[in-house]
Amino acid sequence: MTEFLQLTVYGIVLGSIVSLGAIGLSLIYGILRFPHFAHGDYATLGAYLTLAVVQGVSVSTLVALPVGLVGTALAAIAIDQMLYRRLRRVAPVILLIASVGVALILRSLIQIIWGPSNQVYETGITMPYRVGGVNVSPDHIVIFLGALVLMVALHLFLQKTKMGKAMRAMSDNADLAQVTGIRVNTVIIWTWIIGGGLAAASGIFLGMDTRLHPVMGWRVLLPVFAAAILGGIGRPYGAVVGGLIIGLAQEYSTVAIPPSYKPAVAFAIMVVMLVVRPTGLFAGRKA
């Protein structure tokens, strides 16, 4: 029972990280109509930008976090305007190929600048709290609460602001949205701000939970895709649920199979979902 609760804690932490990535991926997929394969590397970028601030002016990770979010969002806009915008007229799969290229460019740039080895934000051991035999580290609480705050902020943005409504409209039906006079390019820029910012947050939290490494984001891309598909493409709320399911399933699976196969669990869930219900739990865009 204690083991189950412990895995639940790990699962929720991992789920929060995956969800943050999946929200942006799902929105970008819904609005720009291509699976953004560089999303994991945007997360890596956010994590390393934050590391640069943490090391540069020696502040705590949470203080540096906004810099990582803003920096990644700006990079996302720049890449979109320089590259993706020129390719939007052609087939969406060309954007897909381009994003694979962006993923490799970002990863190698990060490796050139910050080196190929593992790094951490803060050294030293923090004692975990023990609650009924279950270990909960302070970082876990920060990650969970941080993800919660960002998700609530996103919810308010999507529901209360005009831009949020425009984004949901674009995601539901782009043609209809354009007819009503929504400015497409502005919506796309906002999509990158939110997608890039949330990806950065997931990368930073992943770095707090484990370590920073140039391929850290690429490694979580598969679970993030699984979460986005599970929740339904273009459904940010679905992505949150999908992320939690994937996170919990990956942690619970370690009871039965070697932990190195964790990504395979996410993949298996995704394949089952694609076969049984390709629109996802929350009836997103049909496959």
Partner 1 sequence: MAGILDYTIFSLCFVGIYGLLALGLNVQWGMTGLFNIGVAAFFAIGAYTSGILTTPPSEAHWGGFGLPVPVGLLGAMAASAVLAVLVGLVTLNLRADYLAIATIGIAEIIRLVMKTETSVTGGVRGMPDVPRPLTWIEGVSFELTFLILIAAVVAVVYLVLEVARRAAWGRVLRSIRENEPSALAAGKNVLAFRIQAFVVGSAVMGLAGGLYAHFISFISPEAFKPMLATFLVWVMLIAGGSGNNKGALLGALVIWGIWSASEMVTGLLPGALATQAGAVRILLIGVLLEIILVTRPEGMLSEAGERLRGIRKESRRDHQG
Contact residues: partner 1, CB under 8 A = 34-35, 37, 83, 86-87, 90, 92-94, 96-98, 100-105, 107-109, 111-112, 115-116, 218, 221-222, 225, 229, 258, 260-261, 263-264, 267, 270-271, 274-275, 278, 287
Q: Which CB, 208 or 273, lies closer to partner 1?
A: 273
Return the SS3 of 250: helix
Tell the smallest beta-carbon distance from residue 70 to partner 1 (Å): 24
Tell the smallest beta-carbon distance from residue 49 to partner 1 (Å): 18
Please state, as a whole number, how many other Cβ atoms lie within 10 Å of the Cβ of residue 151: 20
Tell the smallest beta-carbon distance from residue 39 to partner 1 (Å): 12
CA distance 267 to 261: 10
In angstroms, what CA-CA distances link 46 with 2, 68, 73, 238, 242?
Answer: 34, 5, 9, 24, 22
Q: Which CB, 107 or 168, lies closer to partner 1?
A: 107
Beta strands 134-136; 129-131: pairing state: antiparallel
CA distance 72 to 286: 30
Tell the smallest beta-carbon distance from residue 157 to partner 1 (Å): 27
Q: Which CB, 57 or 272, lies closer to partner 1?
A: 272
Amino acid of residue 144 = F
Q: Which CB, 101 or 138, lies closer to partner 1?
A: 101
Token duo for residue 242? 């999908």
CA distance 200 to 46: 4
Q: Which CB, 157 or 261, lies closer to partner 1?
A: 261
Tell the smallest beta-carbon distance from residue 34 to partner 1 (Å): 7
